[in-house]
Structure 1
């Protein structure tokens, strides 16, 4: 394949976006992501090295990938992350490098992130009430996260706020979170809770799905308007009249956006996931360490994308009976 060639799966969906998890470690213990005692972290030798990740991204860029989102765990707990991000931004064919972070360590780094050309940052923030924030994250770091929010705005980095809506945990914060879009040019996105918390589903049914979240917003903002969604958007996007920013709802559990999915995921250990809900297709790390050529890497990716599930429900159904969903989002890449 030549550079800039388009990459498609077996359902005709263009694939141009990779979510790259650089670590499974995190300095928070969010209720919806991992148990309070944490998870068994991957050993350093099991992680993809920075050199391996740059080779991987370079190969994907030759095949048509143009956008990379760096995730974790929390990306900035890994040493030398800024050097890696600089190398990633310099990779031929990569047009956008975005980051998802919990914001606890990020504020001092924002000027450098801006200078290297980071396109946007997704800031995980599930509550504006410090007490609820502490209850959800099990850590007292709310001021540091808000410092990051202010720094991102000050330096003009495109910012999205990601809030997972959890019954009995933070539904009181939905309206205050939406009001962040009034005076700030941010996108506040409310996400359905998923069972990737290291334990499995917390509920027999999803109490706050995308429809209920929208109804709640409409009750408080009767004039809220639907706005066009960008191509491949995972969120349904809305504008509240008079607000600088927008509000979005991500049906992450309901999986209503699968038909336009343009992304693949690489876990910290190098496992390719062609869907968030599958249990992994093949391990890229092992193939590279076994001496695979660039052509062999490309052929392996093409084979995986040629057998991709049509949606998250099919991907979950194809998981073996011995592997029900119970992994932590930190081991997948948020």
Structure 2
């Protein structure tokens, strides 16, 4: 049974800080609201053998609201909604509005492929969304179709331009892959040089049981930065008191935007990891690379187990959050580091 919506609001006096066994403070939740996606990106999923979660196994919006309410009592100050593709889910804009109505202090973020953003950007601005992370691995239309399996490049580029027109902060996430998009570094740099946005290159990770990942496809952050400095002058961003998450950010001297690198393969950032992930079917994952999961959906649907039980499970799970680089090292860089594909985890 779904918990009643009336229980969504939580008194702030109940708040406590979560700290794991390594001394890391956990204050960031990534919540995947669907495993559905309208793209078939070669590094994430293909049409072969693809199975979707039955609707009754996905968390309802009310259950997601309950999770966010409980998270807010555990000093979670930042929530990112992701998928799959979150805008595929029906009434998603209304769901966003409900979250921010209940938790106006929340740092609310979204990750999207931007294919369905057309016509929704004014509403996002009105709701109070200040920025979007947009996945875009190429600036070439034909290559976009080869990577994603769909010819949606033009709507994505149009959506990015419209977001900038409305003053939304845009971070473009590029999965960096040798032999696929490493010839486009200069084009991405010029985009960030000419537009007030961030372009962040993420090292290709061995995630998913049927991943096409190979060690020789990893375009490392060091290589990207070395090549980038042959194109423009970069200045490291050192914002006192602010965090860029796992990204190392660089200003483009004389440019409007910035570039960044995220290096889970070549230079881990596990010591600063502050996040938990919840899958569309309500499974808590404390590390992207670990298949260890904690089932929250049965608690949410139980008529006997209440909010305090849910809090205790999340706290216990957070306490033993592992170091992802140790999992990578044990895996040996020869294949998948976890069974689930990225769209089923939430990235």
Asked if these proteins are the same fold (TM beyond 0.5), I'd say yes
Deviations 1:130-181 (A, max 9, x none): 1111110110011110111011101101110111111111112221111111
Q: In structure 2, do the counterparts of structure 1 residues 100 and 30 end up closer, same or farther at CA, with 3 Å as the change threshold?
A: same
Provide the TM-score with structure 1 as the length reference.
0.93
- Give CA-to-partner distance per residue, 1:286-306, whole Å, 9 cap, x none: 222233211111111111111
1:1-334 residue pairs with structure 2 within 5 A?
A: 2-37=13-48, 39-92=50-103, 94-221=105-232, 223-228=233-238, 230-231=242-243, 233-254=245-266, 256-291=268-303, 292-309=305-322, 311-315=323-327, 325-334=338-347
| Per-residue Cα deviation, 1:236-284 (whole angstroms, up to 9, x for no partner) | 1111211111100011333521111111100111110111111133011
**Compared with structure 1, are the counterparts of its residues 201 and 133 closer, same or farther at alpha carbon in structure 2 (3 Å cutoff)?**
closer
Q: Is the 8 A contact 1:127 1:163 kept in 2?
A: yes
Q: Kindly report the root-mean-square deviation, in angstroms, between the aligned alpha carbons of the 2 structures.
A: 2.0
Alpha carbons of structure 1 residues 207 and 288: separation in structure 2 relative to 1, 3 Å: closer
Query: Judging changes above 3 Å, is the alpha-carbon distance between structure 1 residues 318 and 192 closer, same or farther for their aligned structure 2 residues?
Result: closer
Change (3 A) 1:78 1:5: same
- How far the C-alpha of 1:219 sits from its partner, in A, is 2.0
Residue 74 (structure 1) shift: 0.4
Cα gap change, 1:191/1:185 in structure 2, threshold over 3 Å: closer, same or farther?
Answer: same
Q: What's the offset of the Cα at 1:107?
A: 2.4
Q: Do the aligned residues in 2 keep the contact of 1:271 with 1:280 (CA within 8 Å)?
A: no
- Give deviations 1:188-207, integer Å, cap 9, x for gaps: 10110112255135214453
**1:88-125: per-residue Cα shift (whole Å, max 9, x none)?**
11233752111100010012111100111113200111
Runs of 5+ in structure 1 lacking a partner? none
Taking the aligned partners of 2:270 and 2:116, their CA distance within structure 1 comes to 33
Question: TM-score of the superposition, structure 2-length normalised?
Answer: 0.89
Question: Secondary structure at the residue paired with 1:179?
Answer: helix
Aligned residues: 329
Say if 1:15 and 1:262, in contact at 8 Å, map to a contact too: yes
SS of 1:107's equivalent in the other structure is coil
Alignment partner of 1:11: what SS? coil
- For 2:6, the equivalent position in structure 1 comes to none
